[in-house]
Amino acid sequence: MEFFASPDQPDPQFESFLEDACKELSNWFATTNSRAPLPLVKKLPNAFPGKEGLPCSKLLADVRLLMEGSYQPSHPGALAHLDPPPITASIVGELIAAGLNNNLLAEELSPSVTKIERTLCKWFTKKLGMPETGGGVTASGGSLANLMALLVARSKANLQCNQKAFVLVSSEAHVSISRAISVMGLPPDAVCNIPTDHNGCLSLPLLKEEYINQKSQDKTCFAVIATAGTTIRGAIDPLCEISDFCKQEGLWFHIDAAIGGVFALSSSTSKFVDGISMANSVVVNPQKILGISKTSSLLLVSQIDDLYNCFSTGFPYIEPSSGKDFQGGEIGLQGTRSAEILKLWLGLRQLGQDGIRLLLEESIMRRQYFYEKLDSHKFNIISGPFHLIAFSPKYIDSAEAKMWSIATKERLLKSNFMLSRPTYKTTWFLKAVMGNPHTKFSHLDFLADAINKSI
């Protein structure tokens, strides 16, 4: 068996391996409904290489075994997390990216793909309403993108070595914020968690109060972080008001829009994230709702120079880029990066503006439909304008809610519906994410009925 595709002629072995792999994948999709969203892992293939290499047929048999134990995002009952099924063009983008094996570190290792990445990031900043000076870079996930944004904010404020530097953020922000602060060598109390209101949104008066309180202790703020779409209920912090506050105080305004950012791409949903244009930095995760296969995350900034000034170290061993644009490896933390932008580029091109709008609107419609079906006399339902919804029985204590959440989740799994079980403000919830296009209203009828009968 040849390990590398022939550089001289069409390679029948290469083609048939890819075709057979494609058939396996297609068959996995086609048999989705005969499996559960979360299958039991009965048998695993060998993890390590034997002395002799294996032929394609054996490799694919192992892949089949692996697939049997894989989480199935395209199952209509897969509603637990922000992990939708991938759209076809993004799968092709992943395959081509692997084949090209270009490196976004530098233009000489990825001449065309680097340009696509720059142009597409620019397009995103434009859609978000950010200034002409803006741009961005892909990152392997929103956690890394958030870390990079905070590094840039801190370096802009010249507080790299200052242990009294802090950020202001909602108490419902994603865990990646406190992790980033810890990676940055700051003490835990450098994250000032601002309480949220009854809608799960950061409270502006309390933000201002805490800012003054921290300053009175000789501390210096280097960023205010708003969340556009919290992970449990999809709440959106008051972006315009926070932006005004940041302008007034001369503070960096970062928006973690890992969930909400893509809603800015469609004119029918962009109103939800009004104010996003005012951010100094924004994190957007197309992997979370648009069906771009993992990972697909972007860090967008209002001044591309800020990324360069924070991360560039010089590249003694790399040719400079052709124009005035920065090398990929000089505007982020990562060195070698895959051509993952291809998934996003091809995926968005396949969807078109109409497809993007449809995915977003239908996700919201499913959430609205489900909301209406849930018995609001029995449940405390929390949900913002996006496609996330969580609920917990009224009139029971936290211990009872925990038991209810475990028992109900298990019962639903037996009917092939997978929800998640977050804790939120001292009690237990079940959460559904309606980003799965295979979930029909009939599924939601069944699901709501089962939940309404659970208590």
Ligand X SMILES: *Cc1c(COP(=O)(O)O)cnc(C)c1O
Q: Please identify, using beta-carbon distances, which residue of 36 and 180 lies nearer to ligand X.
A: 180
**Interatomic CA distance for residues 153 and 82, integer angstroms:** 27
297 near ligand X (CB under 6 A): yes
- For the CB of residue 129, give the shortest distance to ligand X in the complex, in Å: 20
**Interatomic CA distance for residues 347 and 328, integer angstroms:** 21
- For the CB of residue 83, give the shortest distance to ligand X in the complex, in Å: 10
The 173-212 site mask, x for binding ligand X (CB under 6 A), equals: -x-x------------------------------------
143 near ligand X (CB under 6 A): yes
CA angle 308, 261, 224 (to 5 degrees): 60
* Residue of this chain nearest to ligand X (CB atom): 142
CB 415, CB 446: distance < 8 Å: yes
- For the CB of residue 441, give the shortest distance to ligand X in the complex, in Å: 26
- In b/e form, how buried is each residue of 50-86, taking b as 16+ CB within 10 angstroms? eeeeeeeeebbeebeeebbeeebbbbbbbbbbbbbbb
Q: Please identify, using beta-carbon distances, which residue of 285 and 408 lies nearer to ligand X.
A: 285
86 near ligand X (CB under 6 A): no
**How many amino acids of this chain bind ligand X (CB under 6 A)?**
14
393 near ligand X (CB under 6 A): no
End-to-end Cα separation, the chain, in angstroms: 60
What value does the CA radius of gyration of the chain take, rounded to a whole number of Å?
Answer: 23
Considering only 32, 110, 214, 231, the residue that binds ligand X (CB under 6 A) is: 231
Q: With left for phi above 0 and alpha for psi between -120 and 50, is residue 333 left, alpha or beta?
A: alpha
**Interatomic CA distance for residues 180 and 384, integer angstroms:** 26
Considering only 76, 86, 135, 142, the residue that binds ligand X (CB under 6 A) is: 142
- For the CB of residue 104, give the shortest distance to ligand X in the complex, in Å: 18
Name the segment binding ligand X (CB under 6 A); options: 43-51, 89-97, 251-259, 424-432: 251-259
Tokens of 370: 């489900």
356 near ligand X (CB under 6 A): no
Q: What are phi and psi of 84, to 5 degrees?
A: -75, 165
Q: Please identify, using beta-carbon distances, which residue of 117 and 256 lies nearer to ligand X.
A: 256
Q: Which residues bind ligand X (CB under 6 A)?
A: 141-143, 146, 174, 176, 227, 229, 231, 256, 258-259, 285, 297
